[in-house]
Amino acid sequence: MRGGIYSYEKCPECGQSFKYVDTARGLVCPSHPDRRANNEFVVRFGRQVRRRFTSFEKAERFLTGLRYEVDRGTFDPRDYESSNPLGFENLAEKWLTIKKEEVKPSSYANLERFIIAAIHEWGPKNVKEIGFAELEDFLHKQKVSNKTKSNIRSCLHSFWNWLLHRRIVTTQQFPDFPTVKFNLGYRKIIDKETQTAILNEVKRISYDRNPRIWLGIKWLCTYISIRPGELLKVQEQDLNTRLGCFIIKHSKEGREKIVPMLEEDRDLINSLPIGLPELPFFRHHKRTSGTRPGTPFGEKYLYKWWKIACSNLGIEGVDLYGGTRHSSATALKELLTPEQIKAGTMHSTNKAFERYFQRNSQDAIQVYSLTSSFQEVEKSTQPQKIISYRKN
């Protein structure tokens, strides 16, 4: 039979090695059957498995288990290597190293936080021993919202998919994942008249300081395919007034987006001082407390001015994302088909410039023309109503 039990002890009378005779007698000397090994038992199973034991009974149970795994077809020598190649911590750290090169820093920070919590829970535990019960218990222990628990579940599911693709686990060893239910919160949106009133107030209070503040918020109201974080990362060279498009290199989808530009915005860009190609377009002009000329706007800089304008108008609870992109998209439902709006939001997996600049260009331009026209309501227009909207 495969494998055996050995000992480093020698017969005290003749110096021969002890041999495995049977379960009842254990390891005995071939020439002196009354002499037996008492400790330092070693199980050898093939070339990869070596394990020491302090008693013959423990060694024999281990060997029997290995032979049973072979009979069932489940034997994996990696389970018994001293380097623990199937340990959760070892594999999770390798996965994080790969993910660090594949995802944005903000996304990686969340993945790292979730995986470190799992490492604290399972440490060197063999990944094949982590199943539905262990996953459910781990998620239940996390003192976070159900939405965050769902994100943790997605992170772990992605990790196990990676194990599957690398053939570290088989489809039979892939664990069932518990379902995490959660209710999405609500984001407040506004009608077109209120949006225009806020935008006009932003222009009134910020234009002399830096016209790019108002311009950034205006574009978020108009170009509903561009998110605030994406817009703030554009450089001077990403605004191509000759072709009439924005080039969004850092998108949430992880792909470059080409967004058609309205003629009026080409003129606005051309009216501003020209900067070096790699300068951030949304940058400070004057030295103020905490800022220097040429430095980019902070992540929440546009939101800061949006809140000031809302406060001046007595409007509460409307964030920049909901008040611009989502409010504009919602207002379009009365004027355009879902397909046309989708062309404007550019929820597409297509990466080719021609397909979504040329093929969808006319629909997108129609969308942006309408969202821009919302801003032409009389400046005296007063805010009218705020609507609740479910977050994505």
Q: What pLDDT is recorded for position 359?
A: 45
Q: Is 155 a residue whose pLDDT tops 60?
A: yes
Instruction: Label residue 347 by pLDDT band (50, 70, 90).
Output: very low
pLDDT one-digit tens code per residue, 20-49: 777 667 788 888 888 888 777 888 887 777
Q: Is 19 a residue whose pLDDT tops 70?
A: yes
pLDDT one-digit tens code per residue, 194-244: 999 999 999 999 999 999 999 999 999 998 888 888 899 999 999 988 888
pLDDT one-digit tens code per residue, 283-340: 998 777 677 888 999 989 999 999 999 999 999 889 998 888 888 877 777 666 656 6
**186-390 under CATH 3.40.50.10860, yes or no:** no
CA angle 288, 303, 261 (to 5 degrees): 100
Residue from 157, 160, 152, 139 nearest 111 by CA = 152
- Structure tokens that stand for 282 in this block: 């949304």
**Residues of each domain in the chain carrying CATH 1.10.150:** 88-173
Centre a 10 Å sphere on the Cβ of residue 53 and count the other Cβ atoms it contains. Answer: 19
Q: Is 10 a residue whose pLDDT tops 80?
A: yes
- Stretch 97-109: mean pLDDT: 88
Give the bridge partners for 5, in sequence order.
Answer: 43
- Stretch 235-260: mean pLDDT: 85
CATH numeric code, 88-173: 1.10.150
Listed range (95-109, 143-157, 300-314) with the worst mean pLDDT = 95-109
For residues 241 and 55, give the distance between their C-alpha atoms in angstroms, rounded to a whole number. 81
**Residues of each domain in the chain carrying CATH 1.10.443.10:** 186-390
Q: Give residues with Cβ within 8 angstroms of 281, minimum separation 6.
A: 212, 234, 235, 236, 238, 239, 275
pLDDT one-digit tens code per residue, 373-382: 666 654 455 5
pLDDT one-digit tens code per residue, 110-128: 999 999 999 999 998 999 9
Q: Comparing 250 with 361, which gets the higher pLDDT?
A: 250
**Mutual angle of helices 192-206 and 211-222, in 10-degree steps:** 160
For residues 165 and 159, give the distance between their C-alpha atoms in angstroms, rounded to a whole number. 10
